Amino acid sequence: MTVKLVILKSGEDVLADVQEMVVEDKVIGYFFNNPCVVKLKKVHQNDEAEHLKTLADVSLYPWMPLSEDKKIPVTVDWVVTIVEPVSTLKDMYYKTFAVETKND
C-alpha cells in the first residue's frame, strides 16, 4: 500500500492508496484506492518550551461518496503534485479504513 497526499487541479487534497496507470511505459493517470478528501478545520499555535508548535484539526471525508467504486481512475493532467503525508495523517487513513498491515 502506498498512501499519498495528492493535490488536484480543483484544489482538493486527496489522501489515497495511489497506483500509477501505465500504458506503453508512460504514466497516463493514477488509480486512487479508497480516496478521502482531507479538510483542515482549524489551525492553532501553542508556545511550548520556548518554541512555537502549530496544531491542526483535520478530518477525512470520502471522495466521490456517491460512487460504489473504491478504485477511481484520475488522469495525469488533473494531478498537480503527489507528496508523502505526515505520519499522523497516514495513521488516520489506516484507522479510517481499518488497514491492519502497512506495506509502504
Tens digits of residue pLDDT in 32-54: 999 999 998 766 666 665 555 55
Could you tell me if 79 and 30 are in contact, meaning their C-beta atoms sit under 8 angstroms apart? yes
CA distance 39 to 26: 32
What is the CATH number assigned to the segment(s) 3-96?
Answer: 2.30.30.100
Q: Is the pLDDT of residue 65 over 80?
A: yes
The set of cell numbers assigned to 2 is 502506498
Amino acid at 36: C
Grid cell 473504491 is found at 70
Within 8 A by CB and 6+ apart from 23, the residues are none
Domain ranges of the chain: 3-96
How would residue 97 be classed by pLDDT, with cut points 50, 70 and 90? confident
Write down the pLDDT at residue 57.
Answer: 82
pLDDT at position 62 is 93
